[in-house]
A = this chain, B = another copy of it.
Amino acid sequence: MNPLNQHHEEILRDAARQLSRSENLTNICQSQWQGEPLPSHSAVKEIITLCRALIFPGFFGDSTVTRSNITYHTGLWAGRLYTLLCEQIHAGLSMGGCNDSVDNHSDTRRSRAADKAAAFIKMLPQLRMWLNDDVKATYHGDPAATSIQEIIYCYPGLRAISAYRIAHNLYELGVPIIPRMISEHSHSETGVDIHPAAAIGRSFTIDHGTGIVVGATSIIGNNVKIYQGVTLGARSFDLDDNGNPVKGVPRHPIIGNGVVIYSNATILGRITVGDNAVIGGNIWVTTDVAPGERIIQAKANNVLRLKN
């Protein structure tokens, strides 16, 4: 390539100087200025892959795992996961502006990070049981599924649920930022956006996972099934005296056991959808739904059919 000309060289030098000047770095964490590393997207991706590999060995991560080496793989994966979690949780705890970073001493943070990492790994066997329930529920609810294995390999719904359950467990352990990074990674791979703070019961099914939003204060029971495009959202939110939204107020729906919500339905606000209710496709729901109730679109009376 041609050598950089004088003029361009100056442009680059000026841009670099401005971009690295500290007064131009307003949103950057204070912690970073003290040399603490920030959380890393690629480390978070590896954490997700390791968790999935531990829970569904062979299906995710290294596909050469067999009966004769699974013990070794599992042991190393657990160790690697521990190391990554320690680093990333510590990085999260060290960030300015996080609600869990009161404690300013790095060694204490490091030790708390390690405790949370170990506590998370301890729950992995149970996480596998829950996810196996989700797999079975999905299999039994989809005529297109040809095998249990197809669900694990190919269903974005299962990917989204596995990422949610991982993120939710970390969230419950008081891990800052990392659970949200996990849910956004999953959102990017599947189009399903479940906030890690949401509470979701067992045997959860997402069919054609894409364009789904489940808000932070949503509560979902057991045996619930959701189709593409469903939103469990907030209707509105309160503002404080400065005009900023008040954080932490319950504002998303409560969905009972056995509920089915068809494609593109939108359920907004802190309403309750009773057990075994059915919400039809393209429905907009903002008031409580009784147990067992079925809400469907009326005859499409506002559609015009124009013959040629």
Contact = CB atoms under 8 A, between A and B. Distances in A.
B76 A76 contact: yes
A150 interface: yes
Interface residues of A, number: 164
A71 B75 contact: yes
A121 B305 contact: no
A187 interface: yes
Given A4-B35, A143-B234, A27 B152 contact: yes
Nearest to A147: B97
A9 B153 contact: no
A26 interface: yes
A289 to B, nearest CB: 8
Contacts of A292: 307-308
A146 interface: yes
Interface string A276-293: 100011111100011011
B68 A153 contact: no
A200 interface: no
B281 A284 contact: yes
Contacts of A77: 16
Identical copies of this chain, number: 6
B231 A263 contact: yes
Interface string A31-42: 011111111110
A142 interface: yes
Interface in A205-220: 208, 210-211, 213, 215-216
B247 A71 contact: no
A88 to B, nearest CB: 10
Interface string A58-98: 11100111111111111111110011001100010001111
Nearest to A95: B149
Contacts of A27: 56, 132, 135, 148-149, 152
Contact of A154 (B83, B177, B215): B177
Contacts of A234: 143
A36 to B, nearest CB: 6
B4 A68 contact: yes
9 contacts: A2-B106, A3-B36, A3-B66, A11-B118, A13-B75, A15-B121, A191-B211, A295-B305, A298-B302
Query: Which 4 A-B pairs have CB atoms at the shortest separation, nearest pair first?
Result: A3-B35, A72-B75, A97-B147, A292-B308
Given A16-B77, A264-B264, A290-B307, 7 more contacts: A25-B70, A27-B149, A72-B75, A98-B149, A193-B208, A297-B302, A298-B304
